[in-house]
Amino acid sequence: MSEPGSKSGLTYAASGVDIDAGEALVDAIKPLAKSTRRPGAEASLGGFGALFDLRAAGYDDPLIVTTTDGVGTKLKIAIETHRHDTVGIDLVAMCVNDLLAQGAEPLMFLDYYATSKLDVDTAKRVVAGIAEGCKRAGCALVGGETAEMPGMYGNDDYDLAGFSVGAVDRNKVLPRMDDMREGDVIIGLASSGPHSNGYSLIRKVIEVSGLSWASDAPFAKGMSLAQALLEPTRIYIKTVLPLMKSGLIKGGAHITGGGLIENPDRAVPDHLTATFDFDGWEFPPVFKWLMETGNIDKHEMLRTFNCGVGFVLYVAPKDADAVLAALLNAGEDAFIVGQLAAK
């Protein structure tokens, strides 16, 4: 048995885990986390857990809401093209937009970053994107886990998972299914692109198209395919949450995997269903190109992608104009896409 300090002794670094790199990353991202501070949270890294003062955030009788999600194979584009700066925004968006569907305000965010060999610069760029997403959502980046696991991933590969914690006053929880009625209006909020869903199919379309990530995007002038398809997921918190708190919104749905076929009815009572006028808005160019190039039928498009609608809201007909006006004034591209109907 080797004595401590012996040259022949094994080390964690020799097995592929660089503790020094991990510590360097923590030091590099501490200012990023600090920049996301908000009332109720200090957003400082290094402890074993994170605390949140709900009273300092203005809550008296809150319910806690939690969500978790990832970015999916959109990461493959980032990894293959060395464009790591925006997938962190996607990670936050996928979690906090789910909170929004419950009427909840995002308070805290944590991330999990896993790789075979930690590259500090790459990880810092990813976390910078996470911090930017947290700022857009108004939540604090309070911690995370960096897992260096030799042999688990390819040389440059990494994976991400996010975890968000939010709160909503007990009397403001959404959806308010008991208040929903046949004829309620469905308002759609425009997406920024495919967001973070359907990328396995997107990558297959790119393969059959014969194009590369460096090719000019046929649907986005002046951008490469990689640039256009890495457009980050839109975060709807700051424009929509005030309307939810006002009581004008009966419910909402984040349009993710399952598209406009599966997601809308998740926030609707069993005796009603969300019906859409799918000819009522024009599919954005990226979806038209995917549909044509991949010879994808419309139903498959609608159950895979958001097709230009990243979030939907359910409102009473008498409130629809006011909600639309408020969203447009706040900078959202909002439009009526359908209504609730009896099953």
CATH number, domain at 337? 3.90.650.10
User: 124 with 163, same domain?
Assistant: yes
Instruction: Show which of 118, 140, 172 is a domain's final residue.
Output: 172
User: 331 with 196, same domain?
Assistant: yes
What is the number of residues in the chain?
A: 343
CB 324 within 8 A of CB 336: yes
Supply the range of the domain harboring residue 101. Answer: 19-172
User: 126 with 254, same domain?
Assistant: no
Instruction: Show which of 115, 148, 172 is a domain's final residue.
Output: 172
For residue 260, the cross-strand partners are none
CB 106 within 8 A of CB 237: yes
Strands 158-169 and 62-69: antiparallel
Distance of CA 224 to the CA centre of its chain: 22
Q: Is residue 161 in a domain?
A: yes
Residue 248 CA to residue 91 CA, distance in Å, equals: 28
Model pLDDT, residue 5? 53
> In CATH, what number is assigned to the domain containing residue 23?
3.30.1330.10
For residue 253, the cross-strand partners are 312
Model pLDDT, residue 272? 98
User: 83 with 204, same domain?
Assistant: no
Model pLDDT, residue 2? 46
The number of distinct structural domains making up the chain is: 2
User: 319 with 217, same domain?
Assistant: yes
Model pLDDT, residue 237? 98
pLDDT in tens, 47-76: 788 999 999 999 999 999 999 999 999 999
Instruction: Show which of 137, 152, 172 is a domain's final residue.
Output: 172
Whole-angstrom Cα Rg for the chain: 22
User: Buried b / exposed e across 324-333, counting CB within 10 Å, b at 16+?
Assistant: bebbeeeebb
Residue 82 CA to residue 226 CA, distance in Å, equals: 10
**Two structure tokens written together for 24:** 């360097």
Distances (CA, A) of 20 to 17, 26, 126, 142, 299: 9, 10, 19, 21, 51
User: 148 with 294, same domain?
Assistant: no
**Digits of tens for pLDDT over the chain (343 positions)?**
445 555 668 888 888 898 999 999 999 999 999 999 999 997 677 778 899 999 999 999 999 999 999 999 999 999 999 999 999 999 999 999 999 999 999 999 999 999 999 999 999 999 999 999 999 999 999 999 999 999 999 889 999 999 999 999 999 999 999 999 999 999 999 999 999 999 999 999 999 999 999 999 999 999 999 999 999 999 999 999 999 999 999 999 999 999 999 999 999 999 999 999 998 899 999 999 999 999 999 999 999 999 999 999 999 999 999 999 999 999 999 999 999 999 9
Looking at residue 145, what DSSP letter applies?
E
Q: Mapped to the 3 state alphabet, what secondary structure does 161-209 carry?
A: EEEEEEEEEHHHCCCCHHHCCCCCEEEEEECCCCCCCCHHHHHHHHHHH
CB 52 within 8 A of CB 108: yes
User: 195 with 167, same domain?
Assistant: no
Strands 105-115 and 140-148: parallel
Model pLDDT, residue 262? 97
Dihedral in degrees, nearest 10, Cα atoms 253, 72, 37, 64: 40
